[in-house]
Amino acid sequence: MPFSRLYSDTGGERQVVGRQPLIQVKRLVAKYGEDVVLDRISFDVYEGEIFVVLGGSGCGKSTLLKHLIGLIPPHSGQVIIDGYDISKSDEVTIENVLRRIGVLYQSAALFGSMTLAENVALPIKEYTALPPEAVTTLVRMKLNLVNLGAYEDYFPSEISGGMKKRAGLARAMALNPKILFFDEPSAGLDPVTSAELDNLIIHLNKTLGTTMVIVTHELQSIFSVAHRVIMLDKHSKGIIADGEPKYLRDHSKNPFVRKFFNREAPEEITA
Amino acid sequence: MKTTEDLQSCRYELSENGEGEITLQIQGQLDVSNSAAVINGLNKWFRDRRLGALTVDLEALTHLDDFGVLALVQTRRLVAEREGTFHLKNVSDNVSEMLSFFHFDSLARKPPFAKRRRPGMLIRLGDGTIRVASEFRSLTAFIGAVCLGLLHVCRHPRSLRTDDTFLYMQKTGVDALPIIALISFLIGLTMAFMSAVQLEQFGANIYVASLVSLMMARELGPIMTAIIVAGRSGSAFAAEIGTMKVSEEVDALFTMGFDTVRFLAVPKIVASVLVVPLLTLFSDLFAILGGLVVGVFMLDLTANGYMDQTIKTLSVFDVFWGLFKSGVFAFLVAWIGCFRGFQVEGGAASVGEATTSAVVSGIFLIILFDAIFSVILRYWG
């Protein structure tokens, strides 16, 4: 089913209808010590969606991502991934969730002592019963997918930042996860490389149907890849906008949201 | 003959017509959840079997991902190894799209990953020589940089980063005191116990005090303390500077105009040279205490008698010679720790290597310089 059909067409900040959510966040509270970073936020992410979490610096985007991928247990509330409640933190649940997700970290987090092929092969060897020659072929398919077929023997220190991100993506996709999480995928990349990575994300989403959750504040990337965004706010510690990025840019009732999407300085809001 | 296998969300059936022609029918999904089982099942089935042609019927295939494409590639490879022919039948548009997306036609033709070639002996010998020469060069350059840094600090004492120096004095000295005290006490105890077994036979129990105090003050105290400092602080210096190199913090210091050796290495070296002799003094005292415990409780010596013999044995020169040696060892341990840290290039693995190397080189230098000091003392002392 084409993704656009997931939305009702009644205008306004459109709602996703017709499918069960793959990720459900219910009244999540995130705290560092006594400091509340996110206060009772709730949202859903649907299958096949490219979902973007955005907001200014310090609004809790990365904290939210760490809660979604199980790195930090929530202070209260629930995070349900494909039916598994990771807030319960039991080993079996976490293991089941981890097999359903892949994460591309901001620095790509490739293992420096391994070649790109070895990086991608690591989870495949660990979690499948494939014979060695099949692992080799599969690793090549994964690297070809991100246009790094010619660099299988290179070490991470020998390739550029954009290539590292693509290799990190190939490793994140090694076991065909249902959901891919991206932490600031465009950070540190030039506009052309960043656009290439955006195209790759769209391509993979269309071809493989993988659900993507992207944490970023790169507006150009957001407009080109996002089906739906939520915007976090540092002051209210919650979600201040939810919908399609272009709609929010032009029609959001919240002036801060409109200014953010139009890259206008926040001083003008208070002026 | 027919063979059928039911797997999770997939079923495949192999039928053989007796003339070496085999048909493989795949039904349902062929994906990440079942491709390994399909590949291993087919590997087993084709083992020791001759075949002329294999036709894979994909009419009932409902879903295919890259793991499914891999299963087809592996099947085609099995057939090719047996010099048979491979055909796909009833390929839907969706499946065809996936096959071309993952370059199904070109995948099987590629060789396995090229093994990294081990260079010849001559090349390795040359590489090793260049590496040793270059290490010697950087070692010399680093000694020069540290000496210049220390000279600068002597001429401009305010340029020493005092906060950092005090912090490293605490980390290297105060924090290491409990473990050094415990180890020295146990060494003193063991030394006294072992020597008592021999000396008791000659009624020379009192010389246990002489042996423990002289041995600790001149040799074991400085060496043991320096080895513990190499394990605790030398490795920490290498890991800290190495991680800073990996995360470009050292580059940042350089571009901000700081002398990186003066900024990072000099406070560590100064702190170590100041506190390690003090640690050695504590080490000597705790070892003497350990010997005293054995002397009083096992050899019927009085505490006064034991201490009196210790004071008679030790000269001021012995104590200060030990402290001087420990100062030199401290310099060597801190210097090599920082040097290994600055040598880090690449990632986390390099930091680990630098840390190990800092400890090993540190201990080697301690033993080497101890031997040199022994010779100096023997001929010129």
Residue type, A132: P
Q: What is the mean pLDDT of chain B?
A: 89
Q: What is the pLDDT of residue A7?
A: 38
* B39: nearest Cα among B13, B68, B6, B8: B68
Statement: A3-100+177-270 belongs to CATH 3.30.67.10: no
Q: What does residue B271 show for φ and ψ, rounded to 5 degrees?
A: -60, -45
Report how far apart the first and last C-alpha atoms of chain A are (Å, whole number).
Answer: 46
Judged by CB atoms closer than 8 Å, whether chains meet at A176 and B32 is answered as yes
Segment 46-105 of chain B within 8 Å of chain A by CB = 65-67, 69-70, 73-74, 77, 101-103
Give the residue carrying structure tokens 């996709």.
A173
Q: What is the pLDDT of residue B273?
A: 96
**Mutation choice for B interface testing from A105, A138, A206 by most B CBs within 10 A:** A138
Q: What is the pLDDT of residue A44?
A: 94
For residues B62, B68, B69, B73, the Cα torsion angle rounded to the nearest 10 degrees is -130
Angle at A161 between CA A160 and CA A167, to 5 degrees: 90
* B69: nearest Cα among B51, B95, B91, B43: B95
Angle at B159 between CA B158 and CA B163, to 5 degrees: 80
Please check whether residue B37 touches A, CB under 8 A. yes
In 3-state terms, what secondary structure has residue B314? Answer: coil
Give the number of beta-carbon pairs within 8 Å between A and B.
72
- In angstroms, the CA B59 to CA B91 distance is 7
Q: What is the pLDDT of residue B115?
A: 66
Burial class (CB in 10 A: 0-12, 13-18, 19+), A41: buried
* Closest CB to A141 among B77, B107, B348: B107
Q: What is the pLDDT of residue A5?
A: 34
Q: Would you say the ipTM is above 0.85?
A: no
Give the residue carrying structure tokens 């560590």.
B268
**Mutation choice for A interface testing from B42, B66, B95 by most A CBs within 10 A:** B66
Judged by CB atoms closer than 8 Å, whether chains meet at A112 and B77 is answered as no
Residues in chain A whose beta carbon is closer than 8 A to a beta carbon of chain B?
111-113, 117, 128-131, 133-134, 136-138, 140-142, 144-145, 152-153, 155-157, 175-176, 207-208
Contacts A142 to B, Cβ<8 Å: 66
- In angstroms, the CA A162 to CA A193 distance is 6
User: How many whole angstroms from its chain centre is CA B303?
Assistant: 46
Q: What is the pLDDT of residue B288?
A: 94
Asked whether the beta carbons of B340 and B347 are under 8 A apart, the reply is no
Asked whether the beta carbons of B209 and B291 are under 8 A apart, the reply is yes
In chain B, whose CA is at the least distance from the CA of A143?
B102
Report how far apart the first and last C-alpha atoms of chain B are (Å, whole number).
Answer: 96
**Mutation choice for A interface testing from B8, B78, B97, B102 by most A CBs within 10 A:** B102
C-alpha dist (Å) from residue A127 to A122, A123, B290: 9, 6, 55
Q: List, for chain A, all residue ranges whose pLDDT scores fall below the cut of 70.
A: 1-19, 89, 266-271
Q: What does residue B225 show for φ and ψ, rounded to 5 degrees?
A: -60, -45
Asked whether the beta carbons of B76 and B44 are under 8 A apart, the reply is no
Q: What is the pLDDT of residue A220?
A: 87
Q: Show pLDDT as tens, one digit a residue, over chain B (381 residues).
A: 567 777 768 888 888 877 778 888 888 888 888 889 889 888 888 887 777 788 898 888 888 888 999 999 988 888 888 888 888 888 888 888 888 888 888 776 666 676 667 788 999 999 999 989 998 999 899 999 999 999 999 999 988 999 999 999 999 999 999 999 999 999 999 999 999 888 888 888 889 999 999 999 999 999 999 999 999 999 999 999 999 998 889 888 887 888 899 999 999 999 999 999 999 999 999 999 999 999 999 888 899 999 999 999 999 999 999 999 999 999 999 999 999 999 998 778 889 999 999 999 999 999 999 999 999 988 876
The segment(s) of chain A belonging to CATH 3.40.50.300 are 3-100+177-270
* A133: nearest Cα among B30, B39, B366: B39
Contacts B43 to A, Cβ<8 Å: 131
Beta-strand (E) ranges in A18-127?
Answer: 21-32, 35-46, 50-55, 76-81, 84-85, 101-104
Domains and CATH numbers, chain B: 2-107 (3.30.750.24), 157-380 (no CATH)
Q: What is the pLDDT of residue B341?
A: 95
Token output for B114: 């090229």
Question: SS3 breakdown of chain A: % helix, strand, coil, rounded to 5?
Answer: 40, 25, 35
Contacts B77 to A, Cβ<8 Å: 133
In chain A, whose CA is at the least distance from the CA of B117?
A153
Q: What is the pLDDT of residue A209?
A: 86
Give pLDDT tens digits for B31-86. Answer: 888 889 889 888 888 887 777 788 898 888 888 888 999 999 988 888 888 888 88
